[in-house]
């Protein structure tokens, strides 16, 4: 069947259940920096080995499918290729997912004539996703590769050297695509550190980014049996747009779930508030 262009009409679909309509935005408005000093792009994407960058995945929210991210240490000398490979392989957080076919091989990532070209194997044509998740898959790749390169260039997907064209029966990726505005596509509260499953020492510092009402979010720490151990609020540096937050928790040894949640001025009328969690062990 013929599908919509990824830069064209609005979309909706299913990812295991019915999801609400999410509106695609315009050009990117969130600055991004290189994952390591000097990683500013060029004809190829080779960078120093072992750098850290964010890799993006999918998560179901009150506003439909959104992007969630994990900080990854990327091995090898081609950080951009490694980041896309990590995106395809999938998240460590069980609340996130990816719908890219795991057999997909990343052939190359390069920047030419102001466009970032990601070339993958034909396995990428297989995806178990409806139109909403498929459109988010496009932004998942765009965010991941522009993050690691520290660029705002548009991204073109190539399949074995040719523009991808019609994909997954629901859209067409026939020209380079920029980041959609983060408020339209990202989960509004995000824990960046510690990572899920991390072993940490007390006091535990929790850091992340959020776009929340009046710059305030709430947090809770749950014990292994689900009891609330601590709770409180934290402030981002500014409200209604993505900004950093941080808080520190003295915790006894044990296993905990740290949860952050957006403030809900609607009193539940806007749906279930967006929440992010991390399971950590304090030694």
Could you give all domains of the chain from N- to C-terminal order, each with its CATH number?
Answer: 4-185 (no CATH), 189-282 (2.60.40.1220)
Find the mean pLDDT for residues 246-266: 92
Instruction: Return mean pLDDT, the chain.
Output: 85
The Cα 189–Cα 217 span in angstroms is 8
| Residue 89 dihedral angles phi and psi, to the nearest 5° | -65, -30
- pLDDT band at residue 30, thresholds of 50, 70 and 90? very low
Count of positions (residues) in the chain: 283
Cis peptide leading into residue 50 (ω within 30°): no
Determine contact, residues 169/80, Cβ cutoff 8 Å: no
| pLDDT score for 67 | 98
- Does residue 46 carry a pLDDT above 80? no
- pLDDT band at residue 48, thresholds of 50, 70 and 90? very low
Residue closest to 121 by CA, chosen among 109, 108, 106, 138: 106
Residue closest to 204 by CA, chosen among 241, 256, 239: 256
Q: Which residues pair with 155 in a beta bridge?
A: 116, 177
| pLDDT score for 43 | 34
- pLDDT band at residue 266, thresholds of 50, 70 and 90? low
Determine contact, residues 190/96, Cβ cutoff 8 Å: no
Which secondary-structure segment (H or E) carries 87? helix 79-89
Residue closest to 220 by CA, chosen among 191, 177, 181, 186: 191
| pLDDT score for 5 | 54
The Cα 85–Cα 87 span in angstroms is 5
| Residue 241 dihedral angles phi and psi, to the nearest 5° | -155, 160
- pLDDT band at residue 271, thresholds of 50, 70 and 90? confident
* Least confident segment among 91-100, 193-202, 207-216, 267-276: 267-276
The Cα 233–Cα 219 span in angstroms is 6
| pLDDT score for 19 | 32
The Cα 280–Cα 149 span in angstroms is 30
Q: Is the dihedral of CA 191, 84, 113, 26 positive or negative?
A: negative
| pLDDT score for 268 | 65
DSSP string, 194-227: SPTTEEE-SSEEEEEEE--GGGEEEEEEEETTS-
> To the nearest 5 percent, what fractions of the chain are helix, strand and coil?
15, 40, 45
Cis peptide leading into residue 203 (ω within 30°): yes
Find the mean pLDDT for residues 31-54: 51
């Amino acid at each position: 069947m013929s599908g919509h262009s990824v830069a064209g009409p609005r979309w909706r679909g299913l990812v295991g259940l019915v999801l609400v309509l999410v509106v695609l935005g315009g050009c990117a408005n969130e600055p991004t920096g290189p994952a390591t000093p000097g990683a500013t792009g060029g004809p190829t994407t080779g960078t120093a080995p072992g750098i850290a960058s964010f890799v993006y995945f999918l998560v179901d929210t009150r506003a439909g499918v959104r992007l969630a991210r994990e900080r990854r240490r990327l091995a090898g000398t081609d950080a951009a290729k490694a980041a896309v490979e990590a995106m395809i392989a999938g998240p460590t957080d069980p609340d996130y997912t990816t719908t890219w076919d795991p057999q997909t091989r990343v052939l190359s990532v390069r920047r030419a004539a102001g466009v970032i070209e990601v070339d993958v194997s034909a396995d990428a044509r297989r995806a178990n996703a409806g139109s909403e998740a498929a459109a988010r898959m496009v932004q998942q790749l765009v965010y991941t590769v522009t993050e690691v390169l520290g660029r705002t260039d548009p991204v073109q997907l190539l399949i074995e050297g040719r523009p991808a064209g019609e994909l997954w029966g629901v859209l067409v990726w026939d020209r380079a695509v920029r980041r959609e505005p983060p408020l339209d596509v990202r989960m509004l509260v995000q824990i960046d550190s510690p990572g899920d499953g991390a072993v940490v020492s007390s006091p535990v510092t929790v850091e992340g980014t959020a776009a929340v009402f009046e710059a305030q979010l709430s947090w809770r720490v749950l014990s292994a049996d689900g009891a609330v151990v601590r709770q409180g609020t934290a402030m981002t540096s500014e409200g209604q747009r993505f900004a950093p937050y941080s808080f520190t928790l003295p915790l006894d040894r044990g296993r905990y779930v740290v949860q952050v949640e957006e403030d809900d001025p609607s009193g539940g009328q806007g749906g279930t508030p967006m929440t992010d969690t991390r399971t950590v062990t304090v030694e």
